[in-house]
Structure 1
Amino acid sequence: MNDDTEKSLPPLLARITHPSMVARLSASEKEMLATELRQTIIRTVAANGGHLAPSLGVVELTLALLSVFNPEEDRLVWDVGHQSYAWKLLTGRSDDFHTLRQLGGISGFPKIEESPFDHFGVGHSSTSVSAALGMAMARDLSGKKNHVLAVIGDGSLTAGLAFEGLNQAGDMGRRLIVVLNDNEMSISHNVGALSLFLSRNMERGWARRMRKEVKDWLKSIPGIGDEMAEYAHRTHRSLKTVFTPGMLFEALRFNYIGPVNGHNIEELERHLRMAASIDDQPVLLHVLTRKGKGYPPAEAHPSRFHGLGKFDIATGQTPPKPEGTPPTYTDVFGETLCRLAREDDRIVAVTAAMSSGTGTGHFKARFPSRFVDVGICEQHAVTFAAGLASQGYRPFVAIYSTFAQRAYDQIVHDVCIQRLPVTLCLDRAGLVGEDGPTHHGAFDLSFLRHIPNLTILAPRDEAELQAPLVTSLSLGEPLIIRYPRGAATGCPLPEANPLISLPPLPRGEGEVLREGPDAAIIAVGSMVLPALRAAERLFAEHGRSVTVFDARWVKPLAERQLLELAARFKLLLFAEENALAGGFSSAVLELLADRNALNGQRIKRLGLPDAFVEHGTQAQLRHRQGLDDEGIYEALKKLVEGEA
């Protein structure tokens, strides 16, 4: 860590050695601390990258939560965790905060193993309500009295899982506080003021006691008491929900409070205490915040500053890419899909709240009527695409590999059983870097390749990425295309015009990129070119020449070629950027075993271990796992020298 990154903490923040100290600060000290927190977060994210705008938006909310609740006894779940940086700083990690998202440093997300104050590990969205409800039930079964809170953003609230949790929470009626961090919805001042007045006054303790006494008195009237009490209850709910944005939450049997100014600490504390005092039903506190609060560039461009790499604090600009840097795989995908859409009006692009991250923003700008962002709803995205495909369209669903895990049943049931031509484009396959184990695309080959009717392609470079996109249009069946995060290789792209005229890839056929008699490397996707470089280095330094085979197809396998390689070579090295358990090399070994083609070969498999890989740069993590040029070279050298 360089000296510019590891700077001393601001004075007030340096004094906070335990989260309980926040509650003892004066109002003016909390305002000062909010400023120091923002300065520290901005400085660290500028040096390390990270999720800036979400964390800046909840600084006051974090201070209010620690002022009202006791994190040693009460339990709090941050949804996704993009907004947890202030929480980390105030719960014992301020001295290590400069290591945020660095190899060996603290995680960018809440993590149970990292701190006793991270009560639930997160990274994917919309899990907080369900997890918090489980904690609330556990508390009640244990006879404890602590509070349980979930802090969920309006974006995360678009996912079905969030509503499943809310629905169950309302039905169970357990004491639970859900804080809705709303940084997008615009509510007019007058409506907000009226709803705030209603929530303040209709939910005060004396008002709740009076309602209970009146209800009990009405129910005591012979013959008509129960009916009158129910009518009074409905009247109260109608009055409150007609004039507030809380109708939905009241319908789910939550006591709705808000909206509340999320940047006024005293107001937040007052309403959090009000929520804590309600013990006869779950509560939803609606808090209005501004993403990027306190840093003008982030306030002006919250989406760009949601998650980003290193940047200049003075300008908010990220360093320019060196001249000649290849485009990213994401950009190549986006541009290719646009070219194909000009040539085929059946193409529809679908994404789940990730238009910029998946490259479909290009498509949105050029073909708005054929672009759909479904929100954080991967399951819906896949089934929605299946509906399109059933009517003759060709949907391309662009999702990060790690988020495709959430749509497994829909891929099986709605796409593959019906053999519908949906193409799932899995970005960020393999190791993604600083976001760590919740975001690595480590498992897609393992959980997809066994599904019938599904075809899987893993291109080695950007030209090979274009080819599967064209192939999908003639394939007419479910297809997975997986590709890594980051810059592509810089190889020239096909000049075909129209692009749709490119010949489709031969089904189940790989490509021999290098011939040599001493061993064979069988690689797929992002590992093909490092394997080729490793083979060339082995020849240059030791005179040993090996064959390099790009398998390209994970399903169906290039069976004929793989069987020929197994017959020719006694030394086989496999390389893939996926979990070894059930991945590509497992598929090939199953093939060789089933065909009685294993005849004493010495085999070495390189891939991701049976463990969750931590955070760090892609280069660092690939090096640790032996999945870079050096690692493949060393494994190959040992294999041909008889050491492996």
Structure 2
Amino acid sequence: MDTLTNDLSGLNDSEAAQVCALLRARLIDTVSRTGGHLASSLGAVELIVAIHRVFDTGRDRLVFDVGHQCYAHKILTGRNDAMETLRTFGGIAGFPKPAESVCDAFVAGHASNSVSVAVGMARARTLQKQDYHVLALIGDGALSGGLAYEGLSDAGDSGEPLIVILNDNGMSITKSVGGVADHLARQRLKPQYLQFKKGYRKVMSVLPLGGHIYNVTHKIKTAVKETLLPCSLFEDMGFTYLGPVDGHDVKGLTRLLGYAKELKSPVLLHVRTVKGKGYPPAERNPDRFHGVGRFCVGNGEPVQPPKPNFSAVFGQTMCALAQQDERLVAITAAMQGGTGLDEFARRFPQRFFDVSIAEGHAVTMAAGMAKQGIRPVFAVYSSFLQRAYDMLIHDVALQQLHVVLAVDRAGLVGEDGETHHGVFDPAFLDTVPGMTVLCPSSFAELRSMLSYAVYQVNGPVAVRYPRGGEGTYTADSAPAPACILRRGSDITLAGYGSMIDPLLDCARRLERYGVQAEVVKLNCITPIASDILLESLRRTGRLLAAEDSAPSNSVGNRLAAAAARAGIPLKGLALADTGPGFVTHGTVQQLRHYCGLDGESLCRKALEVCGHGNG
């Protein structure tokens, strides 16, 4: 095998195993240099190869759930050479992306939606009288999301031919009971049994009373099985259940997928895999290698040692607060490590709650806790919080309950790209009645604002902070709602959170052109802290508001509206944001430049506002 982009349909089992070995080596080598989601992709290699042996993903629709395990698929669909650019600016994305290849059926970056998408595609196929197969590849973790069960319920009831592949790499879905259950599971996966079942169906379909006979025998078989096996959730939903099966047996997987393909009904194939398979460091530490930076292949150690970051500071602060207050609890939705709560979980296990991938449930559970006198803090990535908007309004805000949201990954997050940038929460959180939104720009401010949110704010409150470490600004201006970091008379530069460093850089650059900029830092963006800003605008008459968030209902728009209501005539106005679309992937520095949010770009905008042309 001299290439990893060949058609796999003609491979024999030995050649398929060779392709798996080549793919695994390629993944380890590539991700060691680019970073990315390694453990998930390693665990799905044989599964991806088997799918490509049986199906044509250029026509058949393979829907990934989240897409962390899609790297082998990308290699096998003409992007092997492009893997060198994985997650880099201008390169290929770390998630499925139809714009890259017709073989990527659907964008996937958040969990639990694949079955719903697959049902939609299957129904579209039927309505359009077309002929192709639809598969949903979902991990056991994604089954903790309620949307997955909504999709499964409808898919099984629909009768539409589709295949749901459950990639189970750790969580037991249906517990087997004793030796009888194990024996029957093995028997129904034997080639002889599958061949007999196919032949029996075929014969019964042509006999005059075959349909009636088949229904009777099927009911008898089901009744017998249910006396020996626990109730199968998936079969009750209407699926033909196959499994569990070894997810690293490419020969067996190929055979079962071929069988599932012929059933022409809802099928669920339960596959057991090992996350990080084939790379010992990833097998030993699958969580650490789920999303990893550049590392040394020999020992798995990172090329650069980890630096202090906002998530870690949040976790440390939570531990300090919990030590003093027994009412404080921490909640996460399957992101314990990512949100910095490992130490909290170790020290305060009775007050730590991981609800799995269920952000809506987490918010509503927090509301129940708050109603009974607990102080809940829900740590969640900005882009994942989007799933809980309804619960924020109905379950928290309606009763003005004191629920604290620790909104991690706020703003541009870097290499994960469109699906993970936290650029929408400033807008949608502002629409929640009674909400307070605080924006620290330094570690010190995160500590102060988190404590302030827990003990000084009434009702729902969010503390939003960026991914990674702090910049050159390390001061603490909390709890003031706003402050002036730099005096000036020609233009007001306003921003919050991680945009403070670019704005201070912009002010220094403007000095070279004789422009004195006043930098106003907003610590609270909901309700908008406008008094200090308005005083500044009365002096300067010009405004440049910068934020790494979407323009709709942006803070900049709200500031401009506040100036208009106050009767302040502006001689110049510019709003710098991420724009109305979705921002691609790359380093945060590259993306700031791309969006016009770095110091140099902001300086050019400010000069235009001040009437200096392009400088």
TM-score (norm 2): 0.93
1:175 is the counterpart of 2:161: yes
- Of residues 260, 279, 287 in structure 1, which corresponds to 2:271? 287
1:310 is the counterpart of 2:294: yes
**Which residue of structure 1 lines up, in the alignment, with residue 548 of structure 2?**
577
Q: Find the aligned partners of 1:241 and 1:429 in 2 and give their Cα distance.
A: 49
Q: Find the aligned partners of 1:478 and 1:383 in 2 and give their Cα distance.
A: 12
Deviations 1:169-199 (A, max 9, x none): 1121111110001111367895545313135
After superposition, the Cα gap between the structure-2 partners of 1:270 and 1:437, relative to the gap in structure 1 and judged at 3 Å, is same
Q: Find the aligned partners of 1:214 and 1:206 in 2 and give their Cα distance.
A: 13
Q: Aligned with 2:392: secondary structure?
A: helix
**Which residue of structure 2 lines up, in the alignment, with residue 564 of structure 1?**
535
After superposition, the Cα gap between the structure-2 partners of 1:242 and 1:78, relative to the gap in structure 1 and judged at 3 Å, is farther
Q: Find the aligned partners of 2:155 and 2:381 in 1 and give their Cα distance.
A: 30
| Identical positions, percent | 44
Q: Find the aligned partners of 1:245 and 1:115 in 2 and give their Cα distance.
A: 42
**Which residue of structure 2 lines up, in the alignment, with residue 249 of structure 1?**
234
Q: CA deviation at 1:556?
A: 1.2
Structure 2: which amino acid aligns with 1:634? R
**Which residue of structure 2 lines up, in the alignment, with residue 157 of structure 1?**
143
Q: CA deviation at 1:604?
A: 1.2
Q: Do the aligned residues in 2 keep the contact of 1:458 with 1:482 (CA within 8 Å)?
A: yes
Residues 494-505 of structure 1: matches in 2 within 5 Å? Answer: 505=479
Q: Find the aligned partners of 1:24 and 1:229 in 2 and give their Cα distance.
A: 37
Q: CA deviation at 1:606?
A: 1.3
Q: Find the aligned partners of 1:31 and 1:47 in 2 and give their Cα distance.
A: 25
Q: CA deviation at 1:643?
A: 2.5
Q: Do the aligned residues in 1 keep the contact of 2:441 with 2:474 (CA within 8 Å)?
A: no
- Of residues 265, 276, 280 in structure 1, which corresponds to 2:250? 265
Structure 2: which amino acid aligns with 1:132? A
1:515 is the counterpart of 2:501: no
Q: Find the aligned partners of 1:372 and 1:57 in 2 and give their Cα distance.
A: 27
**Which residue of structure 2 lines up, in the alignment, with residue 337 of structure 1?**
318
1:481 is the counterpart of 2:451: no
**Which residue of structure 2 lines up, in the alignment, with residue 6 of structure 1?**
none
**Which residue of structure 2 lines up, in the alignment, with residue 394 of structure 1?**
375
After superposition, the Cα gap between the structure-2 partners of 1:534 and 1:215, relative to the gap in structure 1 and judged at 3 Å, is farther
Q: Find the aligned partners of 2:43 and 2:461 in 1 and give their Cα distance.
A: 40
After superposition, the Cα gap between the structure-2 partners of 1:212 and 1:249, relative to the gap in structure 1 and judged at 3 Å, is farther
Deviations 1:117-156 (A, max 9, x none): 1111111111110000001001111112321110100001
Q: CA deviation at 1:641?
A: 4.4
**Which residue of structure 2 lines up, in the alignment, with residue 87 of structure 1?**
73
Q: Find the aligned partners of 2:613 and 2:379 in 1 and give their Cα distance.
A: 43
**Which residue of structure 1 lines up, in the alignment, with residue 406 of structure 2?**
425
Q: Do the aligned residues in 1 keep the contact of 2:489 with 2:517 (CA within 8 Å)?
A: yes
Structure 1: which amino acid aligns with 2:540? F
Q: Do the aligned residues in 2 keep the contact of 1:535 with 1:633 (CA within 8 Å)?
A: yes
After superposition, the Cα gap between the structure-2 partners of 1:453 and 1:28, relative to the gap in structure 1 and judged at 3 Å, is same
1:532 is the counterpart of 2:504: yes
Q: Aligned with 2:459: secondary structure?
A: coil
- Of residues 589, 594, 605 in structure 2, which corresponds to 1:619? 589
Residues 20-39 of structure 1: matches in 2 within 5 Å? Answer: 21-39=7-25
Q: CA deviation at 1:216?
A: 5.3
Q: Find the aligned partners of 1:436 and 1:504 in 2 and give their Cα distance.
A: 31
Q: CA deviation at 1:584?
A: 1.0
Paired residues in the alignment total: 606
After superposition, the Cα gap between the structure-2 partners of 1:530 and 1:493, relative to the gap in structure 1 and judged at 3 Å, is closer
Q: CA deviation at 1:245?
A: 7.1
Q: Find the aligned partners of 2:228 and 2:500 in 1 and give their Cα distance.
A: 61
Q: Find the aligned partners of 1:350 and 1:455 in 2 and give their Cα distance.
A: 19
Q: CA deviation at 1:560?
A: 2.0
Q: Aligned with 1:513: secondary structure?
A: strand
Unaligned stretches of 5+ in structure 2?
none
**Which residue of structure 1 lines up, in the alignment, with residue 436 of structure 2?**
455
Structure 2: which amino acid aligns with 1:260? V
Q: Find the aligned partners of 1:450 and 1:215 in 2 and give their Cα distance.
A: 64
Q: Do the aligned residues in 2 keep the contact of 1:290 with 1:299 (CA within 8 Å)?
A: yes
- Of residues 50, 57, 82 in structure 1, which corresponds to 2:43? 57
Q: Find the aligned partners of 2:488 and 2:16 in 1 and give their Cα distance.
A: 68
**Which residue of structure 2 lines up, in the alignment, with residue 500 of structure 1?**
none
1:637 is the counterpart of 2:607: yes
Q: Find the aligned partners of 2:320 and 2:360 in 1 and give their Cα distance.
A: 27
Structure 1: which amino acid aligns with 2:456? S
The alignment yields a C-alpha RMSD, in angstroms, of 2.4
Q: Do the aligned residues in 2 keep the contact of 1:454 with 1:477 (CA within 8 Å)?
A: yes
Q: Do the aligned residues in 2 keep the contact of 1:348 with 1:371 (CA within 8 Å)?
A: yes
Structure 1: which amino acid aligns with 2:425? D
After superposition, the Cα gap between the structure-2 partners of 1:636 and 1:215, relative to the gap in structure 1 and judged at 3 Å, is farther
After superposition, the Cα gap between the structure-2 partners of 1:67 and 1:240, relative to the gap in structure 1 and judged at 3 Å, is farther
After superposition, the Cα gap between the structure-2 partners of 1:531 and 1:257, relative to the gap in structure 1 and judged at 3 Å, is same
Q: Find the aligned partners of 1:23 and 1:389 in 2 and give their Cα distance.
A: 57
Q: Find the aligned partners of 2:572 and 2:84 in 1 and give their Cα distance.
A: 46
Q: Find the aligned partners of 1:154 and 1:39 in 2 and give their Cα distance.
A: 25
**Which residue of structure 2 lines up, in the alignment, with residue 548 of structure 1?**
519
- Of residues 551, 561, 571 in structure 2, which corresponds to 1:601? 571
Q: Find the aligned partners of 1:587 and 1:215 in 2 and give their Cα distance.
A: 74
Q: Do the aligned residues in 1 keep the contact of 2:87 with 2:415 (CA within 8 Å)?
A: yes
Q: CA deviation at 1:403?
A: 0.6
**Which residue of structure 2 lines up, in the alignment, with residue 435 of structure 1?**
416
Q: Find the aligned partners of 1:219 and 1:38 in 2 and give their Cα distance.
A: 49
Structure 2: which amino acid aligns with 1:206? G
- Of residues 175, 194, 216 in structure 1, which corresponds to 2:184? 194
Unaligned stretches of 5+ in structure 1?
1-10, 221-227, 495-502
Q: Aligned with 1:23: secondary structure?
A: coil
